[in-house]
Structure 1
Amino acid sequence: MSVEAFITRWQGRHGGQERANYALFLTELCDALGLPHPDPASAEHADNDYVFERVVREAGRDGTISNRRIDLYKRDAFVLEAKQSRQVPGGDKQVQGQTDLILTEAVPRGRRGADRAWDVLMLNARRQAEDYVRLLPRGHEPPPFVIVCDVGHCLEVYANFRRDGKAFDQFPDRQSFRIYLEDLRKPEVQDQLKAIWKDPASLDPARRSARVTRAIAERLAKVSKALEKDAHPADEVAMFLMRCLFTMFAEDVGLLPENSFKEVLERCEREPDTFQHDVGQLWEAMNTGGYAHAIREKVPRFNGEFFLRRTVLPLAREEIGELKQAAGHDWRDVDPSIFGTLLEQALDPDERRRLGAHYTPRAYVERLVIATVIEPLRDDWGKVLSTAERQKSEGRNDDALATVRAFHDALCATRVLDPACGTGNFLYVSLELLKRLEGEVLEALVNLGGQEALVGLEGHSVDPHQFLGMELNPRAAAIAELVLWIGHLQWHVRTRGGMPSEPILRAFKNIVVKDAVLAPGQPPRRPEWPAAEYIVGNPPFIGSKFLRARLGDDYTEALWAAHPNMNESADFVMYWWDRAAELLTRKATALRRFGLVTTNSITQSFQSRVLQRHLKASKPVSLVMAIPDHPWSKATTDAAAVRIAMTVVEAGVRDGALREVTNETGLDTDTPIIDLSEKVGIINSGLSIGVDATSVSALRANDGICSPGVKLHGAGFIVTRQEADHLGLGKRNGLERHIRPYRNGRDLTTHPRNSMVIDLFGLNIDQVRNRFPEVYQHVLTKVKPERDANNRATYRTNWWVFGEPRSELRPALKDVQRYVATPVTQKHRTFEFLPADILPDDALMVAAVDDAFVLGVMQSRSFSAWFNGTASTLEDRPRFIKSRCFDPFPFPVADDLQKQRIRVVAEAIDAHRKRVLAEHPHLTLTGLYNVLEELRAGVAPDALEPASRKIFDDGLVLILKEEHDKLDVAVADAYGWPVDLADEDVLARLVALNKERAQEEARGVVQWLRPDYQIPLLGTPKEKAELDLVGGEMATAVAQTKGPKPAFPTDDISQTAAVMSVLAAASAAVDAVVIATTFKQGRRIAPKVSAVLTALARTGFVTSPDGGRTFELRRAA
């Protein structure tokens, strides 16, 4: 089939049957382009590298696995998703629960064609395709392309050559990312699609632009070297060459007449004596605008800094020839992200030998810029898109336009600061990525309001004034400004075309020559940094032991004096980190995030102290992304790539993404591929997921509840039942209170000995002798001799009383019918109820509560993660230590329904274990949990060893496992986090929650575990009065809600953000009413919440597992 026949066949075949026709459409597209058809799908999914309906699996929050299907997948090339049909043809392709919400539009969509209308279905398909990238199986790297297909109409192409599966952008730009059917007639479009199928890496602009940029820099190095021989000052050489470069660039992008500067250079090569005059006259005209005699053409006014001084250095014929060769390259292909570094190397005699060998590949810079700047802006843009969809669907198109315009205004006011900007590569990459995002915003404006929606925006766009730099090296600062303007004008020409408004270059003074960490003069002080929403960069690396040698004694002493909070063993780069963290937590700060490159020694103690001080401050910051060890410079045959760490920081306590390099290829190329794994949780100062659990503090909420059992210090206290009878049990009135059942750790883990213990606490020796003479004689002969030999006087004096009778535990047990007990040392951590008449030994740790809610929480995986993280730091064998394991533990603040769910399952587990142990004497608690661990490790019941299989059968261990799984879900729900969090993530959240509770308690808010007992004993006068007044109801209410409910916002974007925030905190799908009740207005705002949910679903930010009744956030790609 020819391309023309394909266009004729499919043009106009749209409007309802996209889902039914997409496979045929794409197959015939392959025919038209001479591409191979997709392969038949195999039952072995690992073989399905180029197929329709490629199955990927997604784990739900409850641990269930569901199958999703990629419409067309080609490994290492693309994920393609066809737009959902308006008329649903049936089948199981549609995401359950999304159909009615996404596939039915409230108002008709605008006409198809070049003036594209708002299409929420394409937005949703893009979001779904990006989700599928995240779900690809292990071993399948994220492809560089995502394609969204509107059958019979167009393809939309998005790319990410970093291969990290995040932030796919319009490719190649906003003007050309959408390929209409009629565009297939263009050979360049056919070539692009063929390359996407066959050789997608060939489309990576970095490959071509890096080669071109290096070739130009090599030419400049020769010219620079010649000028140095003539004794011209280095800075004068640098500015002269930069003006030459910009003139070459201006010519190639149409800001100067075509070939005009090349012709000047060709003429001057023949007549070198004319070079200074002709080039000087051209630059004079470029500065003011007007007629340029050197090229016999009128030129626009450029202005800026480059042409204020127009010194033209004399060149010989050979050097002019080098400039002519440099001008012969296509400057549209120059990559500003590495151009500055190469130019600096070309101009610096000490750096010239390294030209092209040591620079930072663009993908590395992008990785940090995206995490620091783009991800939060894209989060904002997602909320805006969903809000605009909601407004449009309600017939409020003007409001939708206003919402998108407001975001565009904010984007054009967003400032990015690099406080050690060098030659500007971080600033340029930030500019380009913001321009790409701006392209999506402008596309949305056109889709909502047509081309007229862009009226008035000609001079209002993301531009260099937003990108601020501080740099001590004047030459590097000048290069940074040049880099920004080249990048900005490249983007203007590529996406808008035509001549930009004059003056083309503006003196924004956005790059300043300034020391970022030490102000001039005395006394030593820190300089102010320009206000910005984001800080990103790569400050200089100087190890602390080299500071004096590199910077001098005076500077180093002044640096330390200006930064008194810094330890003198910290590396130089950490002074930038410290200042950025301080700015992040300043009152009314504009700063949202900062991201810095540091040495990978940041995890060592002298560096991590800086992080720790800010992570643990009263106004803490959090690492929201960290890569502990990452290559930085390009590797060569002479040297390996420099290794660095990246950290991205936000204010507050929040989870972060810890990314670790798992594979590195192509480090000696311009397009290295770095594979990263990712874990989410609280990132600590060592750049790992996990916490220093020793940093937690005891909570008042748990005071007076937990204690070890009694410590006898006398074996003669223990008696058998028969001995107890002989001593008068059942005969002597009141003795039942003093000879009691007794349990130690082994009694719980194996088989109870059914021992009893003589407990004479509260009686003096005369009372014992007079009331219980048999008992008196027993302890006199069995206990006193042992006590008389004890070194402690109190033990010798009070010889008839336990050595540690636990006087503080006894009142706590007085009014409960049972209590929670666990062995201090145990292979598998278990908790169970013991009747209150049983006296616990000090080998048991007990919690004096009879609420199965407490038992359930402590028996859950959440508490197990806490226990393993706290107890394991104390001894080789994990021991339950009250001060570490119980006192600081933050129990969930659960509502009544959540508590009841936990109680029911906890009671079931406790009853199940006791029942099977009673019915089968060979069973033990340790044995049951040995088999349970085997099942959790994936051992099938039929694969168990015979002894384990008998325990499995008699102990009904599968039922025990089911109950534990239910308990883990219920407790995770009470905490408000997913049940499938890794143990280290759970521990990190619990430690953070401990700190929140400690802060609350400092303000007088205590989530008492057993308020009816604790408040009279430990509460403040106010709490005691309130307890008396309402009979404990207030304390229960406090346990259910933390402070007043917030009001539901009044403006649309804030409403979207508020609903998304509630969904982010939910552990399962919730409906509009549930979300509404989290706000002050309650159920009456449910219709507004429902409208927000509908818009979020239509734009692909939420999913519904039950046909639109409840919703949950779609996981980020």
Structure 2
Amino acid sequence: MATPTAIEAFIRRWQACEGGAERANYALFLTELCAIIGVAPPQPAHATSARNDYVFERAVVLPGEEDRRGRIDLYKRGCFVLEAKQSREGLGAKSLADLGPILSGLLPDEPGAAPRSRQWDLLMRRAREQAEQYARALPVEHGWPPFLIVVDVGRVIELFADFSGQGKHYKQFPDRARFRITLDDLRREEVRQRLAAIWEAPLALDPTRHAAAVTRDVAARLASISKLLEERGHDPEQVALFLMRCLFTMFAEHSGLLPPDGFVTLLADARERPDAFVPWIEDLWRSMDRGGEANVLRCAVRRFNGGLFHTADALPLNREEIGELLAAARRDWRDVEPAIFGTLLEQALDPDQRRRLGAHYTPRAYVERLVTATVIAPLRDDWAQVLSAMENERTDNPRAAVQRVRDFHRRLAATRILDPACGTGNFLYVTLELMKRLEGEVLEVLAELSGEEILHLDTETVHPRNFHGIEVNARAAAIAQLVLWLGYIRWQLRNGGQVSDPVLEDVQSIVTGDALLTPSGARTPWPEAEFIIGNPPFIGGKDLRGRLPAGMAEALWCAYPKMPRAADYVLYWWERTAQALAARGSPLIRFGFVTTNSITQTFGRRVIARALEASPPLSILLAIPDHPWTKATSDAAMVRIAMTVIARGRQDGRRLRIVHEGGLDSDTPDIRFTETIGRINADLSVGADVASAKPLLANQWLCSRGVSLHGAGFIVSRAEAEMLGLGRREGLERHIRPYCHGRDLTARTRGAMVIDLLGLSEAEVRQRFPEVYGHLLRTVRKARQQQFNKSPTADARAYLDSWWIMGKPRTELRSALDGLSRYIATVETAKHRIFQFLDSDTLPDNMLVCVASEDAHHLGVLSSSASLAWTYANCGLMGVAKFEQGHRYTKTQVFDPFPFPDASDSSGRTIADLANELDATRKRILAGTPDLTLTGLYNLRAKLVAGQPLTAEEEGQRRIGSVDLIARLHDQIDAAVIAAYGWPADIAAPEMVSRLVALNAERRGEERSGRVPWLRPDFQSRRAGATPLAQADRTLPLAEPADAKPSFPRDLGGRIASVFALLATDRPLTAAEIARHFAQGRQVERAVVAALQGAVRLGYVAHGPEGYRLRRVA
């Protein structure tokens, strides 16, 4: 660290600097600052930006502005982005004082100090916006820096932090009173240490890291007391209310709402006199309820009220238990994090939840991710438009500018949020806090504009009354209401605001009940809201009857008749909210939910597709198809979820795919994404809408899963089959057949056989094959009887009645295979998508997907890159890395809609010849090398394609397994299939999928007119008879009339909103292009330019030679 003499010399030297020469001075100033705070200076820059992790002038390419490069004044990877300016005016000595509690922490000039001009405020605001743009432009692997630093060289350093890793909420750090550092502040050691930590260990400054530990400790102490009280026979609900009063009293004392150390002293005294604990604490709580003199504290206390202290009953505690309360009371309650406290408190107070204590809560960053996209992003978009209009008006029409900001604040304060499955309120609390941050910015601008005190903050402010929740668990609902008040009060007090009496208003915004059904079976009414958000419960559709109370599943299906009965429980919330969003006159703006990641599969896709195709249509603005969540218990598997955010109209959205996960078991997980922007489809993909592809008649009746045994006794070895009569009992060879499951194809075959008695009665089996009969009687029938006794469903009854027959013998598949010498099979869930021929006498397991065709042309097409691209676009992903743990090939989503190329010309023969060669080559290699497997061969092929190095052992396997030959055959098949489709040879996978979707639509049109290109004409046309045309949808979509162009709005706010909406595209627009979207055309071109002036000055819109481009606000 620098000596006091060096610090003084630095301050005097730069305070004497005239200013206005930013580019000449900033590097010198920052280098000297590094010496003052005791950190290493920046390093020399390399020619390539990839190596520049701590340098001046770090080059970046701005998102959406690839034609120009930006330069970060000073960048340190994982630490900060710094933007420097140098004004000609200074703040002199520190000139920041609290405006007073009414302004909730706003910071005007101190009397007698050098004034802050509006130009200076604009300079610093634009510098911060520029720093955010540069942070957004960093490489994905760098992640978002935790700090933004804005420097007025030689005068002021401003600090903004976002520890969530999202880059969406850079807020003044550590708070509004201390985020701005003047040169005089550098004399204080704690300020220099703070700056040094930002340079060298920024995450150590994250208050939530300490807060999580403190919160866990407090919850654990409450849990131990709760457990002991319940063991003594106290009602759990009474215990919960008692401890909630205790914890709020602790919070009130540390927040200055009670006399300092009053409650701590009471507890310390009561530990010595446990018999006095109950009367003392009840006296305090009665006083807190009504306000006035508290005898036990010998002073007056404020009126708290709010319902929590209406009943002041306390429970007797012994000395040790009072000691636990005392230890909790002595913790710094300013460090308790409401976002996780509710969950941990529920676990502490609920006997059924207590086993989860310490193992489960949702990290705040996960919650913020959804809250930001659902609520904060549209509010900040509106705020950016208001600021842009204000910037146009502040000089010529300052009254209009002030009124515009006031109107926005009034709308913000009236905004209602609903979580219809709120649990303990963590989503609501995080939303409240983020909205309070935005409100603080609004009030600061208002004070800057008008110089007036902000009135009516008690009635017009972001307040718990506007945060509504529905929760089936009464204890959790009470905790949620308490968490909202804890968060609100803490925010007000931290930011210089007032908390009026009664401290706890009697607001009941959280209601107890089922969010979907009333006791009578009707739909539960929901309060109106502008935004709906939440994390509804996860129950699989197949488990609804078993997991819900008796009769509730049936009532649910009756109340929500459009929902597929196999849909997951969470989708009922999704569907209900989508209907509310689409309803005429609804105040709802957006909704966002956490759901199971199976939302991309069949039933979830149906629900989403119905919303996207409705009139009016909805759009997905954010989709994260696969995201880690929390563990139910410490030894449970990590849950994977999806996030979706929905709005009205047809809009493009952002699809996030995880590229890095780390620290998932910690309080601060590290998750990084790559982003794709475009129209998001019902399966949460971007690009070609594969969900719009429908089954083709041409593919009908050919694809099926294999048989499902429902009894291990059906599987026998060759030796066991001979003991059961194979080779001795006439005709048994037709009923004991080779059997194949997934590992038989991907690894080495077991040589298993299967007993297949379909078509025989019980008597026929007993009389013709007595050994087989006895074997199945002892194995399969016994197992099915036990299953029926355990769960007497209709299926179990049917399986028991026909116990000698496989559970699902797939009669339609058998019919399709009849007369074939071979058929195509693939493993349903696999890492590598491999198709191969099986002999027709081999019976496939239900984990195989079979195609009833012996045509090698079909095998070749299915083995091609076109088929693989289609499969990847359609399948449900399993795991974090793309297909690392496997992907699922399904009949309905993948095979049935897939349009095969025409096989009538020579290309069909070429594909068939190559496919036959590939199939024969693989079988020959595996037959001759017992140590190799099909998966092993394709693992090597994947490494070759990716250009990855092989080990010496793998090089040997490569030669023995002729992996290069297999790769070459695949390349030739790919080229032949692409040629058969008539596509360019270098076509990329996304374009393949787009063309296949279009071809699917074209083929459906041909089929509606009676032209069906059957894959197996003899079998399918005979099977179809006259039904296909009767079943086909003959209706063709009508062309939609072109919409009339809207008029250019007369008011400035409407103009800016309209232009911002047009700029939300993937390319810049000129003023002329924007004007052409309106009825007045070129006549409003000048008005467009004028409307955008403020937005350009503030950095919300970029303006370059190609036109205007909207920069993302949140």
TM-score by length of 1: 0.66
Q: Which residue of 2 aligns with 1:101?
A: none
Distance 1:51 1:291, change over 3 A: same
Cα 1:694–1:508 change in 2 (3 A) is: closer
Partner of 2:1057: 1057
Structure 1 runs, 4 residues or longer, greater than 6 Å off: 84-87, 114-118, 869-873, 878-881, 984-994
Could you tell me which amino acid in structure 2 is paired with residue 551 of structure 1?
L
1:563-615 deviations in Å (ceiling 9; x for gaps): 11111111111111111111111111111111111111212212322212212
- Contact 2:64-2:1066 at 8 Å conserved across structures: no
Q: Which amino acid aligns with 1:433?
A: L
- Cα shift at 1:1061: 2.3
What is residue 526 of structure 1 aligned with on the other side?
523
Distance 1:80 1:15 in 2: 18
Cα contact 1:170–1:436 (8 A) shared by 2: no
Within the candidate set 24, 32, 38, 1:34 is matched to 38
SS at match of 1:148: strand
Matches within 5 A, 1:646-661: 646-661=643-658
CA distance in 1 between partners of 2:999 and 2:85 (Å): 44
Q: How do residues 118-133 of structure 1 correspond to structure 2 at under 5 angstroms?
A: 119-133=121-135
Deviations along 1:943-971, one digit per CA (max 9) or x if unpaired, are xxxxxxxxxxxxxxxxxxxxx99xxxxxx
The partner residue of 2:323 within 321, 324, 327 is 321
Q: Deviations over 1:719-772 (max 9, x none)?
A: xxxxxxxxxxxxxxxxxxxxxxxxxxxxxxxxxxxxxxxxxxxxxxxxxxxxxx
Residue identity opposite 1:259 in structure 2 = D
SS in 1 for 2:68: strand
The answer as to whether partners of 2:86 and 2:154 remain within 8 angstroms in 1 is no
Question: How far is 1:508 from its partner?
Answer: 1.6
Kindly indicate whether residue 564 of structure 2 is the aligned counterpart of residue 567 of structure 1. Answer: yes
User: Does the 8 Å CA contact 2:360/2:630 hold for their aligned counterparts?
Assistant: yes
* Residue aligning to 2:358: 356
Task: Describe the SS at the equivalent of 1:310.
Answer: coil
Does the CA-based 8 Å contact 1:59-1:66 persist in structure 2? no
8 Å Cα contact 1:681/1:989 also seen in 2: no
Question: Which aligned pairs between 1:395-474 and structure 2 lie closer than 5 A?
Answer: 395-450=396-451, 452-457=452-457, 460-474=460-474
Residues 420, 471 of structure 2: 8 Å contact kept: yes
Instruction: Structure 1: state its 5+ residue gaps.
Output: 88-109, 698-826, 830-868, 882-936, 938-963, 966-979, 995-1037
Which of 601, 605, 624 aligns to 1:604? It is 601
Please state how far the C-alpha of 1:990 moved relative to its aligned partner.
Answer: 9.8
Tell me the residue number matched to 2:1095.
1096
Equivalent-residue separation in structure 2 for 1:221 and 1:322 (angstroms): 10
AA paired with 2:1108?
A: F
SS in 2 for 1:1111: strand
Distance across 1 between alignment mates of 2:998 and 2:401? 41
Give 2:255's match in structure 1, choosing from 253, 256, 263.
253
Distance (Å, rounded) in 2 between the aligned partners of 1:991 and 1:156? 57
Give deviations 1:433-457, integer Å, cap 9, x for gaps: 111111221222233233x243443
Q: Is the 8 A contact 1:158 1:177 kept in 2?
A: yes
Q: Residue 6 of structure 1: CA displacement?
A: 2.6
Q: Structure 1 residues 469 and 30 mapped into 2: Cα distance closer, same or farther (>3 Å)?
A: same
Instruction: Identify the range of structure 1 (6-15 vs 141-150) with the bigger mean alpha-carbon deviation.
Output: 6-15
SS at match of 2:654: strand
Alignment of 1:967-1116 (within 5 A): 983=991, 1042-1065=1042-1065, 1067-1071=1067-1071, 1073-1106=1072-1105, 1110-1114=1107-1111
The equivalent of 1:196 in structure 2 is: 198
Pairing of 1:555-634 with structure 2 (within 5 A)? 555-633=552-630
Q: When the two structures are aligned, how many residues end up with a matched partner?
A: 782
Alpha-carbon distance in 2 for matches of 1:440, 1:517? 37
- Distance in 2 between the 1:133 and 1:669 partners? 25
* Alpha-carbon separation, structure 2, partners of 1:117 and 1:310: 56
After superposition, the Cα gap between the structure-2 partners of 1:128 and 1:31, relative to the gap in structure 1 and judged at 3 Å, is same
Paired amino acid for 2:1053: I
Per the alignment, do residues 372 and 981 of structure 1 end up closer, same or farther by CA in structure 2, a change over 3 Å counting?
farther
1:54 matches 2:58 = yes
Cα distance between partner residues in 2 of 1:615 and 1:555: 29
2:470 aligns to what SS in structure 1?
Answer: strand
Structure 2 CA distance for aligned equivalents of residues 376 and 597 of structure 1: 19
CA separation of 1:1115 and 1:276: change in aligned 2, threshold 3 A:
closer
Report the equivalent of 1:688: 685
Q: Hey, what's the Cα distance between the residues in 1 that align with 2:865 and 2:422?
A: 55
Residue 143, structure 1, aligned to residue 142, structure 2: no
Which amino acid in the other structure matches residue 10 of structure 1?
A: W
Which residue of structure 1 aligns with residue 299 of structure 2?
A: 297
Report the secondary structure of 1:553's partner residue: coil
Q: 2:23 aligns with which of 19, 24, 34?
A: 19
Alpha-carbon shift at residue 165 of structure 1 (Å): 3.1
Map of 2:541 onto structure 1: 544
Residue of structure 2 in register with 1:506 after alignment: 505
Amino acid in structure 2 at the alignment position of 1:609:
R
Residues 873-904 of structure 1 deviation map (CA, whole Å, 9 limit, x = unaligned):
654448999xxxxxxxxxxxxxxxxxxxxxxx
* TM norm structure 2: 0.66
2:657–2:674 CA contact under 8 A, matched in 1: yes
| Structure-2 residue corresponding to 1:340 | 342
Matches within 5 A, 1:562-961: 562-633=559-630, 638-692=635-689, 695=692, 874-877=898-901
Q: CA shift at 1:1074, angstroms?
A: 4.5
Query: Any idea what SS the aligned residue of 1:1104 has?
Result: strand
The amino acid across from 2:1088 in the alignment is V
Secondary structure in structure 1 of the residue aligned to 2:12: helix
CA distance, structure 2, for counterparts of residue 1111 and residue 199 of structure 1: 39
CA distance in 2, matches of 1:12, 1:434: 41
1: CA distance, partners of 2:896 / 2:1103: 41
**Amino acid paired to 1:395:** D
After superposition, the C-alpha distances for 1:762-810 in whole angstroms (9 at most, x for unaligned) are xxxxxxxxxxxxxxxxxxxxxxxxxxxxxxxxxxxxxxxxxxxxxxxxx
CA distance in 2, matches of 1:458, 1:991: 61
Which whole-Å deviations, capped at 9, do the CAs of 1:788-845 have from their partners, x for residues lacking one? xxxxxxxxxxxxxxxxxxxxxxxxxxxxxxxxxxxxxxx999xxxxxxxxxxxxxxxx
Post-superposition offset of 1:1084: 4.5
The question of whether the paired residues in 2 share the 8 Å contact of 1:384 and 1:407 is answered with yes
1:3 aligns with one of 4, 7, 14: 7
Shift in Å at residue 871 of structure 1? 14
Query: 1: CA distance between counterparts of 2:994 and 2:292?
Result: 68
Amino acid at match of 1:45: S
Distance 1:429 1:985, change over 3 A: farther
CA distance in 1, matches of 2:1077, 2:903: 40
Q: Give the letter aligned to residue 665 of structure 1.
A: G
Structure 2 counterpart of 1:1093, which letter?
A: L
- Separation of aligned partners in 2, 1:489 and 1:22: 41
Q: Which is greater in Rg?
A: 1
Equivalent residue for 2:70, pick from 68, 71, 78? 68
Aligned 8 A contact 2:693 2:997 in 1: no
Structure 1 residues 30, 277: CA separation in 2 closer, same or farther (over 3 Å shift)?
A: same
- Relative contact order: is structure 1 or structure 2 higher (C-alpha 8 Å, sep ≥ 6)? 1
Question: How far apart are the structure 2 equivalents of 1:1113 and 1:252?
Answer: 45
Q: Structure 1 residues 1114 and 598 mapped into 2: Cα distance closer, same or farther (>3 Å)?
A: closer
**Letter of the 1:28 counterpart:** E
SS of equivalent to 1:69: strand
* C-alpha distance 631-1063 of structure 1, shift in aligned 2 (>3 A): closer
1:913-955 per-residue CA deviation (whole Å, 9 max, x = no partner) reads xxxxxxxxxxxxxxxxxxxxxxxx9xxxxxxxxxxxxxxxxxx
- Which of these residues, 364, 380, 383, is aligned with residue 382 of structure 2? 380
Please give the alpha-carbon distance, in whole angstroms, between the structure 2 residues aligned to 1:650 and 1:203.
Answer: 36
- Distance in 2, Cα, partners of 1:224 & 1:122: 52
SS for the counterpart of 2:551 is helix
Deviations 1:467-517 (A, max 9, x none): 1110111110110011111111111111115x5111111112111112110
Letter in 2 for 1:493: L
- 1:486/1:114 CA distance change after superposition, 3 Å: farther
SS in 1 for 2:676: strand
From the superposition, tell whether residues 1082 and 546 of structure 1 become closer, same or farther in structure 2 (CA, over 3 Å).
Answer: closer
